Structures are given as structure tokens and as C-alpha cells.
Amino acid sequence: MSDNVKTPDPDVTLVRELLEANRRSKTMFAAVSLGIFDALKDQPKTLATLAAELNCNADALERLLDANIGVALLEKSSAGYKNRSAANKYLTSTSPQRLTGYIKYSNDVLWKLWGHLEDAVREGKHRWTQVYGWDGPIFTNFFRDEVAKRDFLFGMHGYGLLSSPEVVAAFDLSRFKTICDLGGATGHLTIAACERYPSMRGIVFDLAAAAPLAREIVGESKVADRIQIVEGDFFADELPKADLYAVGRILHDWSEVKIKLLLKRIYDRLPTGGGLLIAEKLLNADKTGPGWAQMQSLNMLVCTEGKERTLAEYEALLKSAGFKTVDGRTTNSPLDATLAVK
């Protein structure tokens, strides 16, 4: 080896990796959007076959396919292009573990909002009006039509399948009789709790628009006979009776004023000894990590009223609502667990 070969500068390597990070994300997003992973879920296919099936320019498609090899989602052999395991498991629209809903939401909605992050930082406000000319209740947009609703809910469902089993295992919840998941979407957390605790019953409480999909998903589970779907707005309607409430990826959506309102409603409805299980990714005490929570907090900035918090920040909110004890546990999933007891 020549003595003139220089070791790469780690600083410039870091900057280059960050410079290309959004390109790698978009490479996956575009492949999902175009249906590439679905087209390859059963067998390898040649470039010519894929170009014809997907109605794409062959030269341009080849570049995208090869780039997905570069990000470790596809591979290529003499038989053609083929999905790798991550693509089959998480990026095909028929996989039970799919994340395609959240990927489509990220590509179609969040990508544009993140394009105005600088303005969000200057003003401290989400970018819906700037990007879409629209303002109002955030989740109205997610449920604007049936396709958008299912994409959003299935996106949440995909993350729920990864996180909910670990969240309900973070604490021993066997003493609780009924868990009510507020804003429970497809019921993934309630299903996970009822599967882990055989004597527990569950309630999925969410807006009427979310109920049909919740009934569909819960109905396919092994614990459907112990789970009830109840329609309602947790800010306005009476909460179902339970001794354990859960909020998963809910508190990070809202302002502190609205969080305090919701926590007070939950506290007043709980019996003494009842609990509240919070599923959110916790920031480190000094907020220097973890990276996922930091990125999600910026995501909340551009698209909601909320943010991610430390355990101490959640503890302050919970104790101001009246809760006696608060404990937090980190998990290996996209969400951590916090348990507050009345």
C-alpha cells in the first residue's frame, strides 16, 4: 500500500453520512411508494419485468433498484432482483409486521413538513398551515379520507407491534384487572397486555373513525373475547371504567395545557391504587440522547403541538395531576414505559 494513502477524516465522514441520510430514506420511501417490494415479495424478477409491471423507465428504475441494494433492502442474482428479509418483513403491504403505513405517511406528509424545520424552530409552531394551507385539529388531517386513515393507523400499528409487547412487560401489571388504552388505534397495546396477562380484560378507546379498523385487528387476535372497542374523545367524553389506563404515543402530541387536562381526567376516573401506563420514548436526563427520541421530538415540532420529554418532566406533570408514585423503564423497542400510580 502506498504511503501516500491517507486515512479518511472521521469528521468529514460524519458530515457526508448526514448529507446522504435523507437520500437513503427517500430511496426506501420511493421503493415502497412504487410497489417494488410488493412486486418482489414472492420471487426474483428481472429489470425488464419490473419496469413493465411498475410502468417505470428502465434506466431510472435500475438506479433505484441498485440503490436499494446499497441500503441493504434488495439483492441481485442471475435470476434478477430479490427482497432481503427486512424488506419482506417490514416493507411489503401484506406483511403482518409491515411499517408501510408509517413510511407512506412519512413520504407523503412528513417529508414536506420537515422541509420547513428552520421556520418551525424560529416560530415554535407546526408547519401544517405553511405547507398545506390548513390549520385546525391535527388528527383531522390524518382521517381526511379512508385511505389516509388506514395508512396512518397501520403505520401506528406497525410500530405498536414492535413496542407494545415490551411496554407491557416493563412492569408487572398482573394486579390490574382492566386496561383501557386511550387513543388505542388498532388495539395493539391492549392485545399485547391481554396476551401477557391472562386474567386482564381490555378496552380500546378511540375516535369513531378508528373503531372499524380496531374491531378488525382485535377480532383477528387470540384475545378478542376479552377486549371491547369503545368510541369516544378522551378530551371530551366520559372515560370507560378501568383500574389501568394507557396512553401510547399520545402525550407527545399535545401542549402541556392539554396534557394536564387529560391527566386530571384520568386521575379523577381511577380508583386508589389504579395506574397509568405511558408509552413514549424517554429522553436522557440531560437530553443528549437517545437519537430516536431527539429526532422524534423534532418531528413533533413540525407536525404537532407536542414534544418528547425526560422521565423527570413526565414525573412533574404526573405528580401535579395527583399521582403518588412514578417509575420509568427503558426498553429495546421504539417506546419506553412509565407507570404512575394513584
Confidence bin at 143 (pLDDT 50/70/90)? low
Regarding whether 219 and 78 lie in a shared domain, the answer is no
Q: What is the DSSP letter of 203?
A: E
Regarding whether 202 and 83 lie in a shared domain, the answer is no
Regarding whether 162 and 20 lie in a shared domain, the answer is no
Kindly report the CATH number assigned to the domain that includes residue 326. Answer: 3.40.50.150
Regarding whether 192 and 56 lie in a shared domain, the answer is no
pLDDT tens-place string over residues 197-252: 999 999 999 999 889 999 999 999 999 999 999 999 999 999 999 999 999 999 99
Kindly report the CATH number assigned to the domain that includes residue 81. Answer: 1.10.10.10
Residue 191: inside a domain, yes or no? yes
Q: Please count the structural domains in the chain.
A: 2
- The grid coordinates listed for 202 are 381490555
pLDDT tens-place string over residues 281-331: 999 999 999 999 999 999 999 999 999 999 999 999 999 999 999 999 999
Domain end (from 90, 114, 130): 90
Greatest CA separation found in the chain? Answer: 75
pLDDT score for 149: 73
Catalytic residue among 126, 157, 188, 252: 252
Cα gap 205→201, rounded to integer Å: 13
**In sequence order, what are the residues at sequence separation of 6 or more whose Cβ sits closer than 8 angstroms to the Cβ of residue 154?**
98, 100, 101, 102, 186, 213
Confidence bin at 102 (pLDDT 50/70/90)? confident
Residue 15: inside a domain, yes or no? yes
Residue 124: inside a domain, yes or no? no
Residue closest to 131 by CA, chosen among 302, 300, 253, 291: 302
pLDDT score for 1: 47
Cα gap 4→283, rounded to integer Å: 44
Q: Which domain holds residue 180?
A: 156-341
User: Is 116 among the catalytic positions?
Assistant: no
Does 15 score more than 70 pLDDT? Answer: yes
pLDDT tens-place string over residues 42-70: 999 999 999 999 999 999 999 999 999 99
pLDDT score for 139: 61
